[in-house]
Structure 1
Amino acid sequence: MAINLQKGQTINLRKNDRGESIYDLSKVTIGLGWDVRKQGGFFGKIFGKEAAEYDLDAIAFLLDANGKVVNKGKSITSNGRQIRLYQGDVVYFNSMQHPSGHVWLTGDNRTGAGDGDDEQIIVKLDQLDEKYQKIVFIVSIYQGTKNNQHFGMIENAFIRAIDAKGKEITKFSLSGDASMNGKCSMVFAEAYRHNGDWKFRAIGEPHTTDNFVDILKKYS
């Protein structure tokens, strides 16, 4: 049975409570899901009208032993503003596969429509170079500030880890958290090496910015 994590809680991805290796970490899927809250009021109840589409993006930072993103990749700028990073240790919608080939984003869901995971980041933990000691998973609302959107308007937001055989290892839910009001980005969770194993920690640290590059500065 998968463990429903609370904020700050940590589990060992490889072993159960008895120290047994029960998960296949040759490939781990980090799944992100969300639903947009229906508009309230009389007409909202009658027509079940949905709010404007929300585009949540799953992002991964690969960190070294010092907790830093060493290779931020190549940068494209326009009018003096950085508009794209690629081929570095940041995996996101404009750079969907890590140069190692062991971490990749499966796609960019721009609405949250459908059941289950809306976006997935795949990680081959057992093949990842030792220089990578931690992977931080971020979620941001694309143009959330411009569109007056924030996490307080979203329901059923979760992140989960699934092993190579499809077994759900753990799940972390942020539904009904009032601290998400006005927040457009979040450090959701992290996977990190510890004594030869991989552990997974639920973080749930909100940020007002809708640009993950602002969060990346903390890890640079």
Structure 2
Amino acid sequence: LGWGMKQVQSKGFLGFGGGTRQESVDLDASCLLFDTSGNLVDTVWFRQLESRCGSIRHSGDDRSGGGEAGADNERITIDLGRVPASVQALIFTVNSFSGEGFAGIPNAFCRLVDDATSSGIARFDLSLEGGHHTGLIMTKLYRHNNEWKMQAIGEQAEGRTFHDLLPALQPYL
């Protein structure tokens, strides 16, 4: 999937949710911070809820999914104006920590939203696009000519945490 590039405003969030299912499903959102050399310098995920600089925050781990239709089960909030200049790119991923393929999770989605306008920038319907994969490299925000740009990725991968997706996301650094 590719929606090309889009200029990104100063504040936004990544959120995702899913429909109901008999068994609990643990989907996890992560934000990976990379420097200009492509080195991973920080991570925001369910085991670290805030970046060291404080510009990125995770709402906390929702281990069961479900909830209201269309509502976010987990949310990562970003203040791009506070991201250190040494950070060149942010890559957002979603993983099925419990190991279910996305196709088996009703109405699962992830989305990138401009917080100021509440307008959607990108959305992936994981149930339709995810197949039996357990990971998705969703999108990349990166610096270009003193602005933040967005590149939609939509790369399916296998893995229960962002660590498992690191080899698959190397081409995007």
How would you bin the TM-score normalised by the shorter chain?
A: 0.7 to 0.9
Q: How many residues align?
A: 167
Cα deviation 1:4-30 (Å, max 9, x = unaligned)? xxx12223234xxxxxxxx5x1x2111
TM-score under structure 1 normalisation?
0.68
TM-score under structure 2 normalisation?
0.85
CA RMSD of aligned residues (A): 2.1
Q: Which residue of 2 aligns with 1:33?
A: 17
1:207 maps to amino acid = A
Query: Which structure is larger by alpha-carbon Rg, 1 or 2?
Result: 1
**Structure 2 unmatched runs, 5+:** none
In the alignment, the residues of structure 2 paired with residue 98 and residue 132 of structure 1 have an alpha-carbon distance, to the nearest angstrom, of: 12
TM superposition outliers: structure 1 runs of 4+ over 4 Å: 217-220
TM-superposed deviation, 1:110: 1.6
Q: Note the 1:62-211 alignment, pairs <5 A.
A: 62-69=33-40, 71=41, 89-115=42-68, 116-144=71-99, 149-174=100-125, 175-177=127-129, 180-211=130-161
In the alignment, the residues of structure 2 paired with residue 167 and residue 59 of structure 1 have an alpha-carbon distance, to the nearest angstrom, of: 21
TM-superposed deviation, 1:103: 0.7
1:159 maps to amino acid = C
SS of the residue corresponding to residue 108 of structure 1 reads coil
Contact 1:58 1:137 in 2 (8 A): yes
TM-superposed deviation, 1:136: 0.5
TM-superposed deviation, 1:114: 1.9
Q: Which residue of 2 aligns with 1:12?
A: 6
Identity of matched residues, %: 29
Cα deviation 1:109-161 (Å, max 9, x = unaligned)? 122222311111111101211111110011111131xxxx2111123333222
Cα deviation 1:143-202 (Å, max 9, x = unaligned)? 31xxxx21111233332222332421413223423xx33211111111111222212222
In the alignment, the residues of structure 1 paired with residue 36 and residue 12 of structure 2 have an alpha-carbon distance, to the nearest angstrom, of: 21
Contact 1:10 1:199 in 2 (8 A): no
